[in-house]
Amino acid sequence: MKFGIERPQTWQVCIACGNEMVESDPHARCVRCGGLLEIEHRVPRMAPEELLRRFTERRGAPRGGSASGVWRYKDIVLPSATEVVSYPEGNTPLLQRASIDRWAGVGGLLLKHEGYNPTGSFKDRGMTVGVTQARRIGARAVACASTGNTSASLAAYASLAGIPALVLVPAGNVALGKLAQSLAYGAKTLLVRGDFDDCLRLVEDASDRLGVYLLNSINPFRVEGQKTIVLETLEQLGWDPPDWIVLPAGNLGNTAAFGKALVEARAWGLIDRLPRLAAVQAAGAAPFAQSFAEGFARRHRVKAETVATAIRIGDPASYDRAVKSIRETDGVVLAVSDAEILAAKAAVDASGVGCEPASAASVAGVKRLVAAGTIKPADRVVAVLTGHILKDPGALLHYHREMDPPPVGANRPIEIEPTIDDVARLLEGGSPC
C-alpha cells in the first residue's frame, strides 16, 4: 500500500519495492517482496533551532526517558513513543589520547566509546527502541541471532520489559563476556552448531512460523536507535560535523543507521554538510569491502573468519541499506587484517581507553586510510569504539599471555616467590630467579 496525502507521523517502507506499512506492523520484512524495511518520519514540524533546543534541554535530566542518550532525540527517533524501556543508555564519551593519535598518524582523533553503554556495546541504543516497540505491539516473546552483543543486549532489555527472550548464537564462537551476560540476564540461549549466518536464517524462520518478534539488526526500529550514536556525536561537536566518521562493519546495521542519521540531519537542517563514512571490515570477513571495490556491482557472500567475532559475518543482512549510506556520504569501505586489528587494539588498550577486538578495526582503518592519503593528517576524524574491553577476556589473555613469539605490546604476567627481593628485582626490570 501507499499512504495518501494524510501521512502518519511515522511509517515503515520497503527499500526494495516501496511498499508502505503502518508503524505497528510486526513483520520483520516487507510483506509483499521480502525486502528490508526502513522507518520514515514526516519532516518534523519544528524549526531546526527548536529541535536542537529540546535536545539540549533534556540533556542532564536526572531520570526518565530524557536521561537517555537515545530518547533525548525521540522527535527524530520514534516520536509516538510514550512509555519507553530504558536504562538509560547512550550519553557515551568522546575520548582522545595522544598515544593513539601518534599510532594512527592523525592529529586529534576522537573516539566515540560505545562500550560505556549499560551492557557494554552500542547494541543497547537499538535495543531500547526495539524492545519498546515490542512492548507497544504486545509481542509475546522476542528473539535474535547474534555474534554475542545483540544477545547480551536483548537479554537485558527483555528482562527490563518482562518479555521472554530467545537468543541464537554460534556454538564455540561467542566471546566469553557476551555469553555470560545472555545467561545471567535470563534469556533462553541456544548454541547453534553453525555460524552466525546459519543462526540468522534459523531465527528469521522461527519468527515467521512461531510469531515471536524479531530483534535482529534488520529490525528497522533498532536502526532508529543506533542513529543516535551519530546524533550524540554531532551534538558533542556543537553540530559542526567532522570530516570523517569511521566504524567497524559486520552485519552493516550501524553503517545503515549512520548514513540515515546523517542524511536526515541534513534534510532537517541540523547540519549543513555530511561527513564521509569509512566502514572497516576484517579481511577474513569482508564481503562488503569486496563489493565496494567493484563499485557495488554485485553482492558477495564469504565464509567468515576473524579474531574480531563481533564482525565475523559472511553475508551481511543490512547490505542494501549500507550501500545507500556509503553512496550518500561519499564513503569508503576497506578491510584490515587481524594483525592490524590486534595491533590497534593493543594501542587503544595500553592508552587506558580499552575496547573489544572488533572495535579496534575502526582505529586500524584510520591508520590505513591515513597511510593511503585518503584521510589527511589534519582532518577531523571520529572513530567509533563499539564495545567494552571486558567483552572478550579470552582474546585479551591469549594476546598477552600465550602468543608465541609475544606480539608487540604483549604484557606477560610474571609469577614470583613471595619475597620482597623478587618484587624489588622486577621493579628494576629484571627477571625473577
Ligand X SMILES: *Cc1c(COP(=O)(O)O)cnc(C)c1O
Q: Which residues bind ligand X (CB under 6 A)?
A: 121, 123, 149, 217, 248-255, 310-311, 356, 358-359, 386-387
- CB of 159 vs Zn ion, minimal distance in Å: 34
- CB of 239 vs ligand X, minimal distance in Å: 24
- CB of 16 vs Zn ion, minimal distance in Å: 5
Stretch of 14-22, 192-200, 398-406, 407-415 lying at the interface with Zn ion (CB under 5 A): 14-22
Number of residues that bind Zn ion (CB under 5 A): 8
Tell me the C-alpha distance between 198 and 190, whole Å. Answer: 12
- Our finding on whether 9 is near Zn ion (CB under 5 A) is no
What cell was used for 16?
526494495
Nearest to ligand X of 66, 147 (CB atom): 147
- CB of 137 vs ligand X, minimal distance in Å: 23
251, 261, 255, 231: which is closest to 308 by C-alpha?
251
- CB of 265 vs ligand X, minimal distance in Å: 19
User: 181 contacts which partner out of ligand X, Zn ion, none, CB within 5 to 8 A by kind?
Assistant: none
Pairing of strands 244-248, 381-385: parallel
Q: One symbol per residue from 15 to 54: x for binding Zn ion (CB under 5 A), - otherwise; what is it?
A: -xx-x----------x-xx-x-------------------
Nearest to Zn ion of 156, 223 (CB atom): 223
- CB of 386 vs ligand X, minimal distance in Å: 3
- CB of 30 vs Zn ion, minimal distance in Å: 3
- CB of 431 vs ligand X, minimal distance in Å: 37
- Our finding on whether 242 is near Zn ion (CB under 5 A) is no
CB atoms within 10 A of CB 397: 12
User: 311 contacts which partner out of Zn ion, ligand X, none, CB within 5 to 8 A by kind?
Assistant: ligand X
Pairing of strands 110-113, 37-41: unpaired
Nearest to Zn ion of 33, 293 (CB atom): 33
Nearest to Zn ion of 19, 159 (CB atom): 19
The distance from CA 240 to its chain's CA centroid, rounded to whole angstroms, is: 22
Nearest to ligand X of 67, 326 (CB atom): 326
Tell me the C-alpha distance between 403 and 397, whole Å. Answer: 9
- Residue pair 204/214 in contact (Cβ under 8 Å)? The answer is yes
Nearest to ligand X of 104, 384 (CB atom): 384
User: 19 contacts which partner out of ligand X, Zn ion, none, CB within 5 to 8 A by kind?
Assistant: Zn ion
Nearest to ligand X of 75, 392 (CB atom): 392
User: 331 contacts which partner out of ligand X, Zn ion, none, CB within 5 to 8 A by kind?
Assistant: none
Nearest to ligand X of 207, 251 (CB atom): 251
- Our finding on whether 1 is near Zn ion (CB under 5 A) is no
- Our finding on whether 279 is near Zn ion (CB under 5 A) is no
Nearest to ligand X of 66, 181 (CB atom): 181
Tell me the C-alpha distance between 225 and 229, whole Å. Answer: 8
- CB of 395 vs ligand X, minimal distance in Å: 12
Tell me the C-alpha distance between 139 and 60, whole Å. Answer: 32
- CB of 112 vs ligand X, minimal distance in Å: 12
Pairing of strands 94-95, 110-113: antiparallel
Of the residues 13, 14, 37, 131, which one makes contact with Zn ion according to CB under 5 A: 14
Nearest to ligand X of 51, 110 (CB atom): 110
User: 14 contacts which partner out of ligand X, Zn ion, none, CB within 5 to 8 A by kind?
Assistant: Zn ion
User: 357 contacts which partner out of Zn ion, ligand X, none, CB within 5 to 8 A by kind?
Assistant: none
User: 395 contacts which partner out of ligand X, Zn ion, none, CB within 5 to 8 A by kind?
Assistant: none
- CB of 38 vs Zn ion, minimal distance in Å: 11
Per CB under 5 A, residues contacting Zn ion are: 14, 16-17, 19, 30, 32-33, 35
